[in-house]
Structure 1
């Protein structure tokens, strides 16, 4: 389900905020209902359970990624320009929704509960297919190497970003990033440029 009504969206946004602040286990349906100013029965009516609410939140946050990637792929750009655009899209999207991504990956990796991640996994497979098409274009034109481990490209992009985020105090100190605005600006400029250079090296240079 990707078409949410106004009340459902309000519930999802409240749930996301509380999950990010208190953790999934530390947030109750009662907490969500109180902040959203609704009764618990309405959450049950719309989503069924807290786990189903989390699944819907995942779908809500990833539903438009497919369209953005399709639009990028269809643009009249060189293969490397498409890859650069893809990296910018990844970083901006993850940075905007970093709380949600942290919740998703913690819940999936912890294995503490069974969450139906089919929609999330299908979206990742679709995104990977578009990436493969972009790289294939470059390979056909002789621009990219033929022995690329494409499946690890998104891991390289997101792993670099999350390492930077998880070590924020350290990087703010050594790079003299004194405010949140400076830290965010660094992500959108220098960190993004570094990731682009890294992926370009993987695609085009002999390692």
Structure 2
């Protein structure tokens, strides 16, 4: 995991809030420094530039997530339990960081991309590999069937979440979720349990 000082973490936390609210282009280094109650020069000293600050932020978040996945795998005794726990962790992390996640994907899709996301993408691939290896181990153990398309498991999880999130208004009206607290509860409970059941059905169903 990336090691950062308390001051660096404080700056990243404030930058994340501002990036999430105003976007990358809409957030100035001056505003970040003002909100963090520091001199602008400190951001240059710690990160070099606004671009490098965002690179550090996303790399730190995904590196931290990798550690959490490892601990989750260690703490659960069964393969089904490990899958359930990882899905719950993934949905929680994605939901809590959904705005910065959206920003990252916007920046990745830009033709005039300003940010170097190579480390982020490398860590993302490593996290997916951890998940893939877990499923393969479950297949070897006999807990999961050997015919599931492993490459589609993570897209199934994320696709289900983002379909709900990007159609939030429609689902909120249908389910009576008229405030953020009730929507968060629905995501972290009802949606998470639905995705867990879906993935377990895919992994354990013998065609």
- Scaled by the length of structure 1, what TM-score is found? 0.91
Q: Matches of residues 52-131 of structure 1 in structure 2 within 5 Å?
A: 52-131=52-131
CA contact (8 A) 2:139 2:145 kept: yes
1:77-132 C-alpha deviation (Å, 9 max, x unpaired): 22111111110110111122222211212111234314222221222222122212
CA contact (8 A) 2:14 2:35 kept: yes
CA contact (8 A) 2:62 2:124 kept: no
CA contact (8 A) 2:143 2:204 kept: yes
Provide the C-alpha distance between the structure 2 equivalents of 1:197 and 1:110, rounded to a whole number of angstroms: 36
Aligned to 1:193: 193
Provide the C-alpha distance between the structure 2 equivalents of 1:137 and 1:10, rounded to a whole number of angstroms: 39
- Structure 2: gaps spanning 5 or more residues: none
Offset, 1:149: 2.5
Q: How many residues align?
A: 207
1:4-44 C-alpha deviation (Å, 9 max, x unpaired): 22221221112111111111111111221222222222111
1:137-157 C-alpha deviation (Å, 9 max, x unpaired): 221133323233322222211
- In the TM superposition, structure 1's runs of 4+ consecutive aligned residues that sit over 4 Å from their partners are none
Offset, 1:206: 5.1
Aligned to 1:162: 162
Provide the C-alpha distance between the structure 1 equivalents of 2:66 and 2:108, rounded to a whole number of angstroms: 21
Indicate yes or no: 2:48 matched with 1:40.
Answer: no
Aligned to 2:146: 146
- Scaled by the length of structure 2, what TM-score is found? 0.91
Aligned to 2:178: 178
- Structure 1: gaps spanning 5 or more residues: none
CA contact (8 A) 1:72 1:82 kept: yes
